Amino acid sequence: EVQILETGGGLVKPGGSLRLSCATSGFNFNDYFMNWVRQAPGKGLEWVAQIRNKNYNYATYYAESLEGRVTISRDDSKSSVYLQVSSLRAEDTAIYYCTSNAFAYWGQGTLVTVSS
């Protein structure tokens, strides 16, 4: 059974930073590209970042709106992917989902709230 568990969300003040983690199991993580997608309250889905697999030299891609403030990374030995977000703003408040390439597998998301 595929399992994806995001952790690390919470309440953070504007200008603060967070590191989100995504632990996976049940599929061959090393073969997959992995994405972070977010959803602001009552809004649609927004792609945030992608990290490719070893065959693609772990290439990373970022949404332009977040570039410079986010870093995606992965640890294949732990079947995990991470998202470091800095200089947080109120508009970054959202549920952050970890998902595989082609969006086959999703976690339940972790809520990030940016507020003073």
Partner 1 sequence: DVVLTQTPPTLSATIGQSVSISCRSSQSLLHSNGNTYLHWLLQRPGQSPQLLIYSVSRLESGVPNRFSGSGSGTDFTLKISGVEAEDLGVYYCVQGTHAPLTFGSGTKLEIK
CB of 10 to partner 1, least distance (A): 19
Binding region for partner 1 (CB under 8 A) out of 21-29, 44-52, 72-80, 84-92:
44-52
Q: Is 15 exposed, middle or buried (0-12, 13-18, 19+ CB in 10 A)?
A: exposed
Nearer to partner 1, 86 or 103 (CB): 103
Q: Kindly state whether residue 102 participates in binding partner 1, applying the rule CB under 8 A.
A: yes
Q: In whole angstroms, how far apart are CA 97 and each of 54, 56, 62, 90?
A: 22, 23, 15, 18
Q: Which residue has the tokens 């470091």?
A: 84
Among 8, 9, 46, 84, binds partner 1 (CB under 8 A): 46
- Strand 10-12 relative to strand 110-114, pairing: parallel
The residues facing 25 across adjacent strands are 3
- Main-chain phi, psi angles of 35, to 5 degrees: -125, 155
Q: Kindly state whether residue 44 participates in binding partner 1, applying the rule CB under 8 A.
A: yes
Binding region for partner 1 (CB under 8 A) out of 15-23, 70-78, 80-88, 94-102:
94-102
CB of 60 to partner 1, least distance (A): 10
Nearer to partner 1, 83 or 107 (CB): 107
